[in-house]
Amino acid sequence: MTLALEIGWGTTLAIKTLIVLMIIPLGALILGYTFLLKMMSHMQSRLGPMDPGGFHGWFQLVGDGIKFLQKEDIMPDEADRRVFALAPAIVVISTFLIFLVIPTGPRLVVQHLDVGVFYALAVSSLSVVGVLMAGWASANKFALIGALRAAAQLIAYELPLLLAVVGVVIQAGTMNLNGIVIAQANGSIFGMDFFGNPFILTQIVGFVLFLIAAQAELTQTPFDMPVAESELVAGYMVEYTGFRFLFFFIGEFGTAFAFAALAATLYLGGYAIPGVNGGLADLLGPIVLFVKLMAVAFFMFWVRFTYPRLREDQLQAIAWKYLIPIGLLNIIATAIIKVAVP
């Protein structure tokens, strides 16, 4: 099946850009609404977010948005003004870049990249540059400590994240995200190929590693020391107000959205569902992926709202003493089984 109308590369690029530009704020809003406002309110008996607008507090998010737009844009006297202004943008851009390679259907993908996974993990670490810039340019000691913590933490957890993904790459035999989805859809476990082989079954260790490391990459509890509001107030975000703060907020939830989509693609079979092929798969793909990523995100936020926070040295100990060795063992085991069991 081909597209009915021929469009030039310029138009395609414009459409793709528009979609990517829309999807991250939309994803951030959806996650913010569902988990931050609704799930957290239920867990914590909060009445506030259930009230505005009448039905189930639907207006709360709009109200929050309006509040951010109204706030005065304050910049500290000592701040490095250009770096200070640029930092939130870099954090958000890194989120947009991840979405370029996540497939939402057999042909619904912004950019087919043969090194898709590699690219996605590489650009996701770009946000640490923005965080460091924000922390340094704020000329605030809390922000500086927060930024340094964030840098140390993101570097430490980049490794387990990569090691976890390497297992999937070995099993699928490709780094292309679409290829990984196809490998899962066409795979079989013990000869049963009814629902393919979602890698969560064979790479369960990798999946757990990925979730833990992603939680650290997202600076969510129990790894939220860089923002730690009870000690560093809000870490690198402490001097940001209004729209710039909103950028960080969108970046935070947008990245959570992107990582949930990545986890769903790598481990839960992505956009594919058994028995659906061709044009219908393109149609249903985004919905299937959305359902799967919401399931992953639910788990992430559930942990976030339940657990206390680790200390910085304990966090490093977990990464270097446990996660990285387990990740290496997982790779070795996957490789051996891949060769031994054809």
- The pair of three-digit structure tokens given for residue 119, joined into one six-digit string: 């690219």
Q: Which helix (H) or strand (E) holds 316?
A: helix 312-317
38-57 per-residue burial string, b: 16 or more CB within 10 A, e: under 16? bbbbeeeeeeebbebeeeeb
Stretch that binds another protein, among 24-32, 99-107, 231-239, 262-270 (CB under 8 A): 231-239
Between 44 and 188, name the residue whose CB sits nearer to another protein: 44
Determine if 253 is a binding residue for another protein (CB under 8 A): no
Give the nearest distance from C-beta 305 to another protein in angstroms. 6
CA distance 88 to 127: 9
- The pair of three-digit structure tokens given for residue 318, joined into one six-digit string: 């977990």
Determine if 111 is a binding residue for another protein (CB under 8 A): no
Check if the beta carbon of residue 223 is closer than 8 Å to that of residue 216: yes
Give me the residue label for tokens 């989805």. Answer: 181
Among positions 96, 99, 142, 257, the unique one binding another protein when judged by CB under 8 A: 142
Determine if 230 is a binding residue for another protein (CB under 8 A): yes
Mapped onto helix, strand or coil, the DSSP state of residue 209 is helix
Among positions 102, 109, 185, 225, the unique one binding another protein when judged by CB under 8 A: 225
Between 94 and 221, name the residue whose CB sits nearer to another protein: 221
Q: Residue type at 157?
A: Y
DSSP 8-state secondary structure symbol assigned to residue 51? S
Site for another protein in 281-320 (CB under 8 A): 305-314
Stretch that binds another protein, among 180-188, 222-230, 245-253, 291-299 (CB under 8 A): 222-230
Determine if 77 is a binding residue for another protein (CB under 8 A): no
How many residues touch another protein under the rule CB under 8 A: the total is: 31
CA atoms within a 13 Å half-sphere pointing along the CA-CB vector of 141: 1
Long-range contacts of 310-318 (CB under 8 A, 24+ apart): 310/222, 310/223, 310/225, 311/225, 312/149, 312/152, 312/153, 312/225, 315/153, 315/156, 315/216, 315/223, 315/225, 316/152, 316/153, 316/156
Backbone angles phi, psi at 272, to 5 degrees: -80, 140
Check if the beta carbon of residue 134 is closer than 8 Å to that of residue 143: yes
Among positions 95, 221, 265, 334, the unique one binding another protein when judged by CB under 8 A: 221
Determine if 144 is a binding residue for another protein (CB under 8 A): yes
CA distance 259 to 213: 10
Give the nearest distance from C-beta 212 to another protein in angstroms. 13
Give the nearest distance from C-beta 281 to another protein in angstroms. 40
Give the nearest distance from C-beta 194 to another protein in angstroms. 39
Among positions 57, 105, 179, 222, the unique one binding another protein when judged by CB under 8 A: 222
Give the nearest distance from C-beta 319 to another protein in angstroms. 15
- The pair of three-digit structure tokens given for residue 141, joined into one six-digit string: 């000691």
Determine if 45 is a binding residue for another protein (CB under 8 A): yes
Give the nearest distance from C-beta 284 to another protein in angstroms. 36
Among positions 211, 228, 261, 297, the unique one binding another protein when judged by CB under 8 A: 228
Between 72 and 313, name the residue whose CB sits nearer to another protein: 313
Give the nearest distance from C-beta 229 to another protein in angstroms. 6
Determine if 139 is a binding residue for another protein (CB under 8 A): yes
Residue ranges that bind another protein, judged by CB under 8 A = 40, 43-46, 78, 139, 141-142, 144-145, 221-222, 224-225, 228-233, 305-314
